[in-house]
Amino acid sequence: MLTQAPKGTHDILPDEIDKWIFVEQKFAEICRRFGYREIRLPVFEHTELFQRGVGDTTDIVQKEMYTFEDKGGRSLTLRPEGTAGVVRSYIEHGMASLPQPTKLFYNITAYRYEKMQKGRFREFHQLGVELFGAGDASADAEIISLLVLFFDSLNIKNLTLNLNSIGCPECRAAYNQKLKEFLADRIGNMCETCKERIDRNPMRILDCKDEGCRQHLKEAPVLLDHICDDCRVHFEKVTQKLQDIGIHYEIDKGIVRGLDYYNRTVFEFVSRNIGSQGTVCGGGRYDGLIETCGGAPTPGIGFAIGVERLLLEMESQGIEIPIRPGPDIYLGSIGEKAEKLCEKLAWELRSEGITCIKDIMGRSVKAQMKYADKLGARYALIIGDNEVESNKASLKDMKTGEFKDISLDTLIDRLVKIRETD
Protein backbone atom coordinates (compact mmCIF):
# COMPACT_ATOMS: atom_id res chain seq x y z
CA MET A 1 0.00 0.00 0.00
CA LEU A 2 2.64 2.47 1.11
CA THR A 3 4.62 2.08 -2.07
CA GLN A 4 1.70 2.02 -4.49
CA ALA A 5 -0.21 5.01 -5.82
CA PRO A 6 -3.98 4.82 -5.12
CA LYS A 7 -6.02 2.87 -7.68
CA GLY A 8 -6.97 5.00 -10.66
CA THR A 9 -4.14 7.48 -10.22
CA HIS A 10 -0.82 7.55 -12.04
CA ASP A 11 2.50 9.31 -11.61
CA ILE A 12 3.86 11.34 -14.49
CA LEU A 13 7.54 10.51 -14.39
CA PRO A 14 10.44 12.68 -15.63
CA ASP A 15 10.80 10.51 -18.76
CA GLU A 16 7.21 11.33 -19.75
CA ILE A 17 6.97 14.94 -18.66
CA ASP A 18 8.23 16.45 -21.92
CA LYS A 19 5.20 15.24 -23.86
CA TRP A 20 2.84 16.61 -21.21
CA ILE A 21 4.54 20.01 -21.24
CA PHE A 22 4.59 20.01 -25.06
CA VAL A 23 0.85 19.38 -25.29
CA GLU A 24 -0.01 21.82 -22.50
CA GLN A 25 2.07 24.60 -24.03
CA LYS A 26 0.60 24.03 -27.50
CA PHE A 27 -2.88 24.21 -26.00
CA ALA A 28 -2.12 27.46 -24.13
CA GLU A 29 -0.60 28.94 -27.28
CA ILE A 30 -3.62 28.11 -29.46
CA CYS A 31 -6.07 29.32 -26.79
CA ARG A 32 -4.23 32.65 -26.59
CA ARG A 33 -4.45 32.96 -30.39
CA PHE A 34 -8.23 32.95 -29.95
CA GLY A 35 -8.13 35.47 -27.09
CA TYR A 36 -8.48 33.08 -24.14
CA ARG A 37 -6.73 33.74 -20.83
CA GLU A 38 -5.75 31.10 -18.30
CA ILE A 39 -7.62 30.57 -15.04
CA ARG A 40 -6.49 28.41 -12.10
CA LEU A 41 -9.00 27.25 -9.53
CA PRO A 42 -9.18 25.21 -6.31
CA VAL A 43 -9.16 21.43 -6.60
CA PHE A 44 -12.21 21.23 -4.32
CA GLU A 45 -15.43 23.22 -4.26
CA HIS A 46 -18.63 23.15 -2.21
CA THR A 47 -20.44 19.90 -3.03
CA GLU A 48 -23.61 21.82 -3.82
CA LEU A 49 -21.94 23.52 -6.78
CA PHE A 50 -21.61 20.18 -8.59
CA GLN A 51 -24.98 18.89 -7.41
CA ARG A 52 -26.64 21.93 -8.95
CA GLY A 53 -24.24 22.57 -11.81
CA VAL A 54 -23.44 19.09 -13.13
CA GLY A 55 -26.89 17.85 -12.04
CA ASP A 56 -27.96 15.52 -9.25
CA THR A 57 -29.36 12.88 -11.60
CA THR A 58 -26.06 12.38 -13.46
CA ASP A 59 -23.75 9.40 -12.89
CA ILE A 60 -21.02 11.85 -11.91
CA VAL A 61 -22.99 13.28 -8.99
CA GLN A 62 -24.85 10.11 -8.02
CA LYS A 63 -21.98 7.65 -8.19
CA GLU A 64 -18.60 9.16 -8.88
CA MET A 65 -17.80 12.15 -6.71
CA TYR A 66 -15.05 12.25 -4.10
CA THR A 67 -17.02 14.04 -1.39
CA PHE A 68 -15.81 14.64 2.15
CA GLU A 69 -16.59 16.70 5.19
CA ASP A 70 -13.84 19.06 6.29
CA LYS A 71 -12.99 19.74 9.93
CA GLY A 72 -15.43 22.67 9.90
CA GLY A 73 -18.31 20.38 8.91
CA ARG A 74 -18.57 21.64 5.31
CA SER A 75 -19.31 19.21 2.53
CA LEU A 76 -16.61 19.58 -0.12
CA THR A 77 -15.96 17.67 -3.34
CA LEU A 78 -12.84 17.15 -5.44
CA ARG A 79 -13.83 18.65 -8.80
CA PRO A 80 -15.13 15.96 -11.17
CA GLU A 81 -14.79 18.47 -14.05
CA GLY A 82 -13.83 22.08 -14.66
CA THR A 83 -16.89 23.95 -15.93
CA ALA A 84 -18.81 24.38 -12.65
CA GLY A 85 -15.77 25.87 -10.89
CA VAL A 86 -15.10 28.31 -13.74
CA VAL A 87 -18.76 29.39 -13.66
CA ARG A 88 -18.57 29.85 -9.87
CA SER A 89 -15.45 32.01 -10.28
CA TYR A 90 -17.02 34.04 -13.14
CA ILE A 91 -19.95 34.92 -10.87
CA GLU A 92 -17.89 35.42 -7.69
CA HIS A 93 -15.47 37.84 -9.37
CA GLY A 94 -18.09 39.79 -11.31
CA MET A 95 -16.47 38.95 -14.65
CA ALA A 96 -19.72 39.89 -16.37
CA SER A 97 -18.76 43.53 -15.88
CA LEU A 98 -15.56 43.06 -17.92
CA PRO A 99 -15.62 43.56 -21.70
CA GLN A 100 -17.56 40.60 -23.10
CA PRO A 101 -17.28 37.83 -24.05
CA THR A 102 -15.21 36.29 -21.24
CA LYS A 103 -12.80 33.69 -22.62
CA LEU A 104 -11.02 31.39 -20.17
CA PHE A 105 -8.90 28.27 -20.50
CA TYR A 106 -7.62 25.80 -17.93
CA ASN A 107 -5.34 22.87 -17.33
CA ILE A 108 -6.65 20.80 -14.42
CA THR A 109 -6.74 17.48 -12.65
CA ALA A 110 -10.25 16.08 -12.16
CA TYR A 111 -11.56 13.26 -9.96
CA ARG A 112 -14.22 10.64 -10.61
CA TYR A 113 -14.71 7.36 -8.80
CA GLU A 114 -15.00 5.29 -11.99
CA LYS A 115 -14.15 1.70 -12.94
CA MET A 116 -10.54 1.65 -14.12
CA GLN A 117 -9.95 0.94 -17.81
CA LYS A 118 -7.52 1.90 -20.51
CA GLY A 119 -8.02 5.68 -20.85
CA ARG A 120 -10.22 5.87 -17.77
CA PHE A 121 -8.79 6.99 -14.45
CA ARG A 122 -9.95 8.29 -11.08
CA GLU A 123 -7.55 11.19 -11.21
CA PHE A 124 -7.17 12.48 -14.76
CA HIS A 125 -6.20 15.66 -16.56
CA GLN A 126 -8.29 18.01 -18.66
CA LEU A 127 -7.43 20.91 -20.91
CA GLY A 128 -10.52 23.03 -21.38
CA VAL A 129 -12.03 26.35 -22.33
CA GLU A 130 -15.17 28.18 -21.26
CA LEU A 131 -16.66 31.09 -23.18
CA PHE A 132 -19.28 33.27 -21.48
CA GLY A 133 -21.55 35.91 -22.98
CA ALA A 134 -21.72 34.77 -26.62
CA GLY A 135 -24.93 33.00 -27.58
CA ASP A 136 -24.56 33.10 -31.34
CA ALA A 137 -23.70 30.10 -33.49
CA SER A 138 -20.42 31.88 -34.37
CA ALA A 139 -19.19 31.06 -30.87
CA ASP A 140 -19.99 27.35 -31.32
CA ALA A 141 -18.17 27.22 -34.64
CA GLU A 142 -15.19 29.20 -33.32
CA ILE A 143 -14.72 26.95 -30.32
CA ILE A 144 -14.81 23.86 -32.53
CA SER A 145 -12.33 25.49 -34.92
CA LEU A 146 -9.99 26.09 -31.96
CA LEU A 147 -10.07 22.37 -31.24
CA VAL A 148 -9.46 21.43 -34.86
CA LEU A 149 -6.48 23.79 -34.99
CA PHE A 150 -5.12 22.34 -31.75
CA PHE A 151 -5.38 18.73 -32.96
CA ASP A 152 -3.82 19.78 -36.28
CA SER A 153 -0.94 21.49 -34.47
CA LEU A 154 -0.18 18.14 -32.81
CA ASN A 155 -0.43 16.34 -36.15
CA ILE A 156 -3.34 14.25 -34.90
CA LYS A 157 -5.33 12.87 -37.81
CA ASN A 158 -8.66 11.11 -38.13
CA LEU A 159 -10.49 12.18 -35.01
CA THR A 160 -14.19 12.22 -35.79
CA LEU A 161 -16.14 15.29 -34.77
CA ASN A 162 -19.61 14.14 -33.73
CA LEU A 163 -22.22 16.84 -33.42
CA ASN A 164 -25.75 17.00 -32.08
CA SER A 165 -28.29 19.47 -30.71
CA ILE A 166 -30.17 18.60 -27.55
CA GLY A 167 -32.46 21.64 -27.77
CA CYS A 168 -33.48 23.99 -24.99
CA PRO A 169 -35.57 23.43 -21.82
CA GLU A 170 -38.75 24.24 -23.79
CA CYS A 171 -38.27 21.71 -26.57
CA ARG A 172 -36.90 19.22 -24.09
CA ALA A 173 -40.04 19.37 -21.96
CA ALA A 174 -42.13 18.21 -24.94
CA TYR A 175 -39.52 15.58 -25.83
CA ASN A 176 -39.32 14.29 -22.26
CA GLN A 177 -43.08 13.71 -22.36
CA LYS A 178 -42.71 11.66 -25.58
CA LEU A 179 -39.81 9.72 -24.08
CA LYS A 180 -41.80 8.95 -20.94
CA GLU A 181 -44.68 7.64 -23.05
CA PHE A 182 -42.24 5.47 -25.01
CA LEU A 183 -40.69 4.12 -21.81
CA ALA A 184 -43.95 3.56 -19.95
CA ASP A 185 -44.20 -0.20 -20.68
CA ARG A 186 -40.40 -0.75 -20.80
CA ILE A 187 -39.23 0.94 -17.60
CA GLY A 188 -40.33 -1.99 -15.43
CA ASN A 189 -37.59 -4.12 -17.03
CA MET A 190 -34.89 -1.47 -16.80
CA CYS A 191 -32.24 -0.82 -14.12
CA GLU A 192 -32.94 0.84 -10.77
CA THR A 193 -31.11 4.04 -11.78
CA CYS A 194 -33.32 4.40 -14.88
CA LYS A 195 -36.43 3.80 -12.78
CA GLU A 196 -35.33 6.55 -10.45
CA ARG A 197 -34.63 8.93 -13.33
CA ILE A 198 -37.86 8.52 -15.27
CA ASP A 199 -39.73 11.17 -13.30
CA ARG A 200 -36.84 13.44 -12.35
CA ASN A 201 -34.88 13.55 -15.64
CA PRO A 202 -36.05 11.08 -18.30
CA MET A 203 -33.48 12.22 -20.86
CA ARG A 204 -30.68 11.06 -18.53
CA ILE A 205 -31.92 7.49 -19.15
CA LEU A 206 -30.50 7.77 -22.68
CA ASP A 207 -27.05 7.92 -21.07
CA CYS A 208 -27.45 4.57 -19.24
CA LYS A 209 -24.54 2.20 -19.87
CA ASP A 210 -26.42 -0.96 -18.86
CA GLU A 211 -26.62 -3.29 -21.87
CA GLY A 212 -30.17 -4.45 -21.03
CA CYS A 213 -31.39 -0.85 -20.79
CA ARG A 214 -29.63 0.03 -24.05
CA GLN A 215 -31.64 -2.67 -25.82
CA HIS A 216 -34.89 -1.10 -24.57
CA LEU A 217 -33.74 2.31 -25.82
CA LYS A 218 -33.04 1.22 -29.40
CA GLU A 219 -36.32 2.55 -30.78
CA ALA A 220 -36.55 5.57 -28.46
CA PRO A 221 -37.67 8.88 -30.03
CA VAL A 222 -34.70 10.96 -31.17
CA LEU A 223 -34.27 14.37 -29.55
CA LEU A 224 -32.83 16.07 -32.64
CA ASP A 225 -36.07 15.28 -34.47
CA HIS A 226 -38.06 17.13 -31.80
CA ILE A 227 -36.15 20.38 -31.22
CA CYS A 228 -37.95 23.74 -31.62
CA ASP A 229 -37.52 26.11 -34.56
CA ASP A 230 -35.08 28.44 -32.75
CA CYS A 231 -32.86 25.55 -31.75
CA ARG A 232 -33.03 24.09 -35.24
CA VAL A 233 -32.00 27.41 -36.82
CA HIS A 234 -29.12 27.71 -34.34
CA PHE A 235 -27.95 24.20 -35.18
CA GLU A 236 -28.21 24.82 -38.92
CA LYS A 237 -26.11 27.96 -38.51
CA VAL A 238 -23.44 26.03 -36.60
CA THR A 239 -23.23 23.30 -39.24
CA GLN A 240 -23.21 25.88 -42.06
CA LYS A 241 -20.35 27.78 -40.42
CA LEU A 242 -18.35 24.57 -39.96
CA GLN A 243 -18.87 23.79 -43.63
CA ASP A 244 -17.77 27.33 -44.54
CA ILE A 245 -14.49 26.87 -42.63
CA GLY A 246 -14.07 23.41 -44.11
CA ILE A 247 -14.43 21.43 -40.88
CA HIS A 248 -15.77 17.95 -41.38
CA TYR A 249 -18.36 16.68 -38.89
CA GLU A 250 -20.84 13.90 -38.47
CA ILE A 251 -24.28 14.31 -36.95
CA ASP A 252 -24.64 11.84 -34.10
CA LYS A 253 -28.22 11.99 -32.84
CA GLY A 254 -27.27 9.75 -29.92
CA ILE A 255 -25.01 12.23 -28.10
CA VAL A 256 -26.67 13.42 -24.90
CA ARG A 257 -23.48 13.99 -22.80
CA GLY A 258 -23.12 12.90 -19.19
CA LEU A 259 -23.68 16.30 -17.58
CA ASP A 260 -27.02 18.06 -17.15
CA TYR A 261 -26.04 21.62 -17.98
CA TYR A 262 -26.01 21.33 -21.76
CA ASN A 263 -28.47 22.80 -24.22
CA ARG A 264 -28.40 23.13 -28.01
CA THR A 265 -25.01 22.23 -29.51
CA VAL A 266 -23.15 19.26 -28.03
CA PHE A 267 -20.10 17.66 -29.58
CA GLU A 268 -17.41 15.04 -29.08
CA PHE A 269 -14.12 14.28 -30.81
CA VAL A 270 -13.78 10.51 -30.98
CA SER A 271 -10.87 8.23 -31.82
CA ARG A 272 -11.18 4.75 -33.27
CA ASN A 273 -7.66 3.78 -32.16
CA ILE A 274 -7.60 3.80 -28.38
CA GLY A 275 -10.32 1.36 -27.36
CA SER A 276 -13.72 1.77 -25.77
CA GLN A 277 -12.77 5.02 -24.01
CA GLY A 278 -12.32 6.76 -27.34
CA THR A 279 -13.85 10.15 -26.57
CA VAL A 280 -10.86 12.44 -26.48
CA CYS A 281 -12.86 15.63 -26.03
CA GLY A 282 -16.42 16.56 -25.08
CA GLY A 283 -18.22 19.85 -24.88
CA GLY A 284 -21.19 21.95 -25.73
CA ARG A 285 -23.37 24.93 -25.01
CA TYR A 286 -24.81 25.56 -21.52
CA ASP A 287 -26.89 28.73 -21.68
CA GLY A 288 -28.73 28.12 -18.39
CA LEU A 289 -25.83 27.12 -16.15
CA ILE A 290 -24.71 30.55 -14.97
CA GLU A 291 -28.23 31.37 -13.88
CA THR A 292 -28.60 27.97 -12.16
CA CYS A 293 -25.44 28.76 -10.19
CA GLY A 294 -26.74 32.18 -9.07
CA GLY A 295 -25.57 34.55 -11.82
CA ALA A 296 -27.47 36.65 -14.34
CA PRO A 297 -28.74 34.79 -17.43
CA THR A 298 -25.64 34.46 -19.63
CA PRO A 299 -24.94 32.10 -22.51
CA GLY A 300 -21.95 29.78 -22.17
CA ILE A 301 -20.12 27.17 -24.20
CA GLY A 302 -16.96 25.14 -23.69
CA PHE A 303 -15.18 21.82 -23.91
CA ALA A 304 -12.63 19.67 -22.12
CA ILE A 305 -10.01 17.37 -23.61
CA GLY A 306 -8.88 14.31 -21.63
CA VAL A 307 -5.10 14.58 -21.72
CA GLU A 308 -4.41 10.90 -20.96
CA ARG A 309 -6.59 9.93 -23.94
CA LEU A 310 -5.03 12.59 -26.13
CA LEU A 311 -1.56 11.20 -25.38
CA LEU A 312 -2.77 7.63 -26.00
CA GLU A 313 -4.11 8.76 -29.37
CA MET A 314 -0.84 10.48 -30.25
CA GLU A 315 1.07 7.35 -29.29
CA SER A 316 -1.22 5.15 -31.36
CA GLN A 317 -0.65 7.44 -34.37
CA GLY A 318 3.13 7.26 -33.82
CA ILE A 319 3.40 11.02 -33.30
CA GLU A 320 6.85 11.95 -32.01
CA ILE A 321 7.20 14.78 -29.56
CA PRO A 322 10.42 16.81 -29.53
CA ILE A 323 12.52 15.56 -26.62
CA ARG A 324 14.28 18.14 -24.47
CA PRO A 325 17.99 18.02 -25.33
CA GLY A 326 20.58 16.95 -22.75
CA PRO A 327 22.70 19.53 -20.87
CA ASP A 328 24.91 21.93 -22.84
CA ILE A 329 27.96 20.89 -20.88
CA TYR A 330 29.13 18.44 -18.29
CA LEU A 331 31.87 19.79 -15.99
CA GLY A 332 34.02 17.27 -14.21
CA SER A 333 36.98 17.72 -11.88
CA ILE A 334 39.81 15.87 -10.22
CA GLY A 335 41.29 17.33 -7.06
CA GLU A 336 40.28 20.07 -4.69
CA LYS A 337 41.57 23.07 -6.64
CA ALA A 338 39.88 21.85 -9.80
CA GLU A 339 36.64 21.29 -7.90
CA LYS A 340 36.73 24.88 -6.67
CA LEU A 341 37.29 26.20 -10.18
CA CYS A 342 34.50 23.98 -11.49
CA GLU A 343 32.10 25.36 -8.90
CA LYS A 344 32.92 28.91 -10.03
CA LEU A 345 32.63 28.00 -13.72
CA ALA A 346 29.36 26.16 -13.20
CA TRP A 347 27.89 29.19 -11.42
CA GLU A 348 28.96 31.51 -14.25
CA LEU A 349 27.71 29.17 -16.98
CA ARG A 350 24.31 28.70 -15.33
CA SER A 351 24.02 32.46 -14.74
CA GLU A 352 24.46 32.89 -18.51
CA GLY A 353 21.59 30.51 -19.18
CA ILE A 354 23.74 27.51 -20.10
CA THR A 355 22.58 24.12 -18.84
CA CYS A 356 25.54 22.78 -16.93
CA ILE A 357 25.76 19.56 -14.94
CA LYS A 358 28.73 19.33 -12.64
CA ASP A 359 30.18 16.40 -10.76
CA ILE A 360 28.92 16.30 -7.16
CA MET A 361 29.74 12.63 -6.51
CA GLY A 362 33.55 12.74 -6.49
CA ARG A 363 33.70 9.99 -9.13
CA SER A 364 36.67 8.88 -11.25
CA VAL A 365 37.25 10.60 -14.62
CA LYS A 366 36.10 7.47 -16.44
CA ALA A 367 32.89 7.30 -14.43
CA GLN A 368 32.29 11.02 -14.95
CA MET A 369 32.62 10.72 -18.73
CA LYS A 370 30.29 7.75 -18.73
CA TYR A 371 27.75 9.79 -16.79
CA ALA A 372 28.14 12.78 -19.17
CA ASP A 373 27.39 10.41 -22.03
CA LYS A 374 24.31 8.98 -20.30
CA LEU A 375 22.98 12.48 -19.69
CA GLY A 376 23.34 13.25 -23.39
CA ALA A 377 25.60 16.26 -22.67
CA ARG A 378 26.59 18.20 -25.80
CA TYR A 379 30.09 18.97 -24.48
CA ALA A 380 32.21 17.71 -21.61
CA LEU A 381 35.15 19.29 -19.87
CA ILE A 382 37.25 17.65 -17.19
CA ILE A 383 39.46 19.93 -15.11
CA GLY A 384 42.47 18.76 -13.11
CA ASP A 385 45.47 20.46 -11.45
CA ASN A 386 47.22 21.03 -14.84
CA GLU A 387 44.16 22.77 -16.24
CA VAL A 388 43.91 24.99 -13.15
CA GLU A 389 47.53 26.07 -13.58
CA SER A 390 47.45 26.62 -17.35
CA ASN A 391 43.90 28.00 -17.37
CA LYS A 392 43.36 25.83 -20.44
CA ALA A 393 41.40 22.63 -20.94
CA SER A 394 40.28 20.22 -23.59
CA LEU A 395 36.62 20.56 -24.53
CA LYS A 396 35.12 17.30 -25.76
CA ASP A 397 32.43 17.47 -28.42
CA MET A 398 30.26 14.53 -27.34
CA LYS A 399 28.66 14.24 -30.78
CA THR A 400 31.88 13.87 -32.78
CA GLY A 401 34.21 12.69 -30.01
CA GLU A 402 36.72 15.44 -30.97
CA PHE A 403 38.73 17.42 -28.43
CA LYS A 404 39.54 21.12 -28.75
CA ASP A 405 41.98 23.01 -26.51
CA ILE A 406 40.39 26.16 -25.15
CA SER A 407 41.20 28.87 -22.64
CA LEU A 408 38.91 28.66 -19.63
CA ASP A 409 38.42 32.44 -19.80
CA THR A 410 36.67 32.02 -23.12
CA LEU A 411 34.57 28.99 -22.13
CA ILE A 412 31.35 30.91 -21.53
CA ASP A 413 31.59 33.04 -24.71
CA ARG A 414 32.41 29.95 -26.69
CA LEU A 415 29.46 27.96 -25.35
CA VAL A 416 27.05 30.84 -25.85
CA LYS A 417 28.23 31.11 -29.49
CA ILE A 418 28.10 27.36 -30.05
CA ARG A 419 24.58 27.29 -28.66
CA GLU A 420 23.51 29.98 -31.07
CA THR A 421 24.90 28.17 -34.10
CA ASP A 422 24.39 24.50 -33.08
How many Å apart are CA 217 and CA 186, to the nearest integer?
A: 9
Buried b (16+ CB within 10 A) or exposed e, 374-389: eeebbbbbbbbeebbe
Of the pair 82, 327, the CB lying nearest ligand HAM is at 82
> Which own/partner contact pairs does 43-48 have at CB distance under 8 Å and 24+ positions apart?
43/78, 43/79, 43/108, 43/109, 44/76, 44/77, 44/78, 44/79, 45/76, 45/77, 45/79, 45/84, 45/85, 45/88, 46/74, 46/75, 46/76, 46/77, 47/75, 47/76, 47/77, 48/75
CB of 54 to ligand HAM, least distance (A): 8
Give the nearest distance from C-beta 260 to ligand HAM in angstroms.
11
- Return the number of the residue (130 or 339) whose C-beta is nearest ligand HAM: 130
Residue whose CB is less far from ligand HAM, 259 or 346: 259
Least Å from the CB of residue 339 to ligand HAM: 49
* Residues at the site binding ligand HAM, with contacts judged by CB under 6 A: 81-83, 112, 114, 119-121, 124, 126, 128, 130, 258-259, 279-284, 302-304, 306, 308-309
CA distances from 228 to 10, 139, 223, 224, 287 (A): 45, 20, 10, 9, 16
Return d(Cα 147, Cα 305) in angstroms, integer. 9
Closest-by-Cβ residue to ligand HAM is: 306
Nearer to ligand HAM, 302 or 327 (CB): 302
In the complex, the smallest distance separating the C-beta of residue 148 from ligand HAM, rounded to whole angstroms, is 16
Pick between residue 280 and residue 346 the one whose CB is nearest to ligand HAM. 280
Q: Which is nearer to ligand HAM, 132 or 330 (CB)?
A: 132
What is the nearest approach in angstroms of ligand HAM to the Cβ of residue 220? 21
CA distance 370 to 95: 56
Task: Find the shortest distance in angstroms from Cβ 284 to ligand HAM.
Answer: 6
Query: Rounded distance, CA 338 to CA 168, Å?
Result: 75
Nearer residue to ligand HAM within complex by CB, 256 or 406: 256
Q: How far is the CB of 269 from ligand HAM (least distance, A)?
A: 8
Beta strands 329-333 and 356-358 are parallel
CA gap 269, 292 in Å, rounded: 27
